[in-house]
């Protein structure tokens, strides 16, 4: 179903352009705005779709927009619920610097005091390249935060259980810019994929959480085999490797990155016990990052080949080559 403008589309389904509740009531149906005129949200605007028995939700097509589709004013609220949101291509230059955002070119704020919520939304980026760019920026190992279901990247799809994403700014420049807290959308049970469905491997990044040595080994191997970029794993509790079942080193090949993260909260430290296994992880010109972990059971083999190895504390647990 096509409408001249986004405002007309919303009005036809129960909401004024600036406030109200618009229910796009046909699961799987496509609602499209032809023009790229932005909607200024002045109060509370809720745009809701429906999810069919087949799991397919109502689709809202915003691909015609070359600038912001929604501009949320101070004190106003925008909620998008149970929708598949078809996004326009990422701009060549972004206003958010290097921060990963699929929304900054679609939803913007005029000033502080606005609220944006996405719940049960599947964002569909215009191309696989856009999704790759977003995911690669999102998955910086040094900036990655420990977590479980808050944020995962599985088989190329970004999954937000409960997280935030940077929004854009209105271009009129007549108001003070929003503060950092106000410029974030809240994402609940929201995913990001691309046109045509989940991308094929190799993926730009993979990230999830693990709870045991077996899970660490199997998850890391599976993700490393299909991921071109970083593999980032949060340890939800203490993990002890088992010499009898840890068969050879976990290999991080050339150009790959493996990050293992513990809980940074005080009094909730996570232990990673190598159980004396030398070369438990083998980085073949790859990179291994261990962060916020208490390392136990570090091996020290009887034979060393260099002064560097002689005085190293943990290098024997992670070999830098075979």
∠ CA 202-140-260, nearest 5°, is: 85
Residue scoring higher pLDDT (194 or 313): 194
**Shortest CA distance to 25 belongs to which of 4, 41, 1, 54?**
1
Band of pLDDT at residue 312, cut at 50, 70 and 90: low
pLDDT value at residue 92: 80
User: Look-up: residue for tokens 């002064």?
Assistant: 307
Residue 223: burial class (beta carbons within 10 Å; 0-12, 13-18, 19+): buried
Q: How far apart are CA 60 and CA 86, in angstroms?
A: 6
Structure tokens at 97: 């610097």
Mean pLDDT of 202-211: 97
Contact of 128 with 199, CB cutoff 8 Å? yes
∠ CA 31-67-198, nearest 5°, is: 55
- Give 297-321 as a DSSP string: S----S--SSHHHHH-SSTTTEES-
- Give 132-176 as a DSSP string: HHHHHHH--TTT----SSSEEEETTEEEEEEEEEE-EE-TT--SP
Contact of 106 with 165, CB cutoff 8 Å? no
pLDDT value at residue 185: 96
**Which residues, at least 6 apart from 26, have a Cβ–Cβ distance to it below 8 Å?**
50, 58
Which sequence spans correspond to the domains of the chain? 2-194, 206-319
Residue 212: burial class (beta carbons within 10 Å; 0-12, 13-18, 19+): middle
- For residue 277, the 8-state DSSP code is -
Contact of 208 with 236, CB cutoff 8 Å? no
For the whole prediction, is pTM greater than 0.95? no
Give the number of other CB atoms < 10 A from CB of residue 5: 17
Q: Kindly give the pairing relationship between strand 70-72 and strand 39-41.
A: parallel
**Could you read off the pLDDT of 16-33 as tens digits, one per residue?**
767 889 999 888 899 999
C-alpha 268, offset from chain centre: 24
**Could you read off the pLDDT of 130-162 as tens digits, one per residue?**
999 999 999 999 999 999 999 999 999 999 999
Is the pLDDT assigned to residue 180 strictly greater than 70?
no
Structure tokens at 78: 């925008």
**Could you read off the pLDDT of 67-113 as tens digits, one per residue?**
999 999 999 999 999 999 999 999 986 554 556 899 999 999 988 78
pLDDT value at residue 170: 78
What does R_g of the chain's alpha carbons equal in angstroms? 23
* Cα within 13 Å of Cα(222), Cβ side: 12
Contact of 216 with 239, CB cutoff 8 Å? yes
Q: Kindly give the pairing relationship between strand 230-235 and strand 151-154.
A: unpaired
b/e burial code for range 262-293 (CB count within 10 A of at least 16 → b): bbeeeeeebebbbbbbebbbbbeebebebbbb
pLDDT value at residue 112: 79
Is the pLDDT assigned to residue 201 strictly greater than 90?
yes
Q: How far apart are CA 207 and CA 146, in angstroms?
A: 10
- Name the H helices within the chain: 6-11, 128-138, 213-226, 307-311
Band of pLDDT at residue 220, cut at 50, 70 and 90: very high
**Could you read off the pLDDT of 278-288 as tens digits, one per residue?**
889 998 888 99
Mean pLDDT of 309-317: 64
Is the pLDDT assigned to residue 169 strictly greater than 80?
yes
Residue scoring higher pLDDT (304 or 80): 80
Q: Kindly give the pairing relationship between strand 30-33 and strand 2-3.
A: parallel
Mean pLDDT of 212-235: 97
Q: What is the mean pLDDT of the chain?
A: 89
Q: What is the separation, in whole angstroms, between the first and last Cα of the chain?
A: 60
pLDDT value at residue 113: 86
């Amino acid at each position: 179903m096509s409408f001249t403008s986004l405002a007309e589309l919303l009005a036809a389904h129960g909401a004024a352009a600036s406030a109200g509740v618009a229910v796009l009531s046909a699961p799987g149906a496509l609602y499209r705005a032809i023009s790229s005129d932005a909607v200024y949200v002045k109060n509370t605007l809720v745009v809701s779709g429906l999810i069919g028995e087949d799991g397919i939700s109502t689709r809202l097509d915003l691909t015609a927009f070359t600038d912001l589709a929604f501009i949320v004013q101070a004190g106003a609220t925008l909620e998008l619920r149970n929708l598949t949101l078809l996004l326009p291509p990422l701009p060549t230059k972004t206003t958010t610097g290097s921060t990963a955002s699929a929304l900054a070119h679609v939803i913007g704020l005029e000033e502080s005091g606005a609220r944006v919520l996405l719940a049960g939304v599947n964002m569909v980026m215009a191309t696989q390249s856009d999704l790759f760019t977003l995911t690669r920026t999102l998955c910086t190992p040094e900036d990655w935060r420990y977590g479980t279901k808050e944020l995962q990247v599985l088989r190329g799809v970004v999954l937000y259980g409960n997280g935030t994403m940077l929004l854009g700014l209105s271009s009129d420049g007549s108001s003070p810019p929003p503060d950092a807290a106000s410029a974030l959308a809240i994402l609940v049970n929201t995913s990001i994929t691309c046109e045509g469905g989940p991308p094929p491997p190799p993926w730009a990044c993979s990230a999830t959480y693990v709870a045991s040595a077996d899970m660490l080994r199997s998850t890391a191997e599976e993700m490393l085999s299909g991921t071109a970029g970083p593999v980032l794993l949060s340890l939800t509790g203490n993990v002890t490797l088992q010499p009898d079942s840890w068969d050879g080193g976990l290999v991080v090949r050339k150009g790959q990155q493996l990050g293992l993260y513990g809980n940074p909260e005080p009094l909730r430290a996570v232990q990673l016990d190598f159980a004396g296994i030398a070369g438990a992880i083998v980085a073949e010109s790859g990179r291994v990052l261990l962060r916020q972990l208490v390392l136990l059971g570090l091996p020290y083999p009887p034979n060393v080949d260099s002064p560097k190895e002689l005085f190293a504390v943990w290098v024997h647990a992670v070999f830098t080559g075979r």
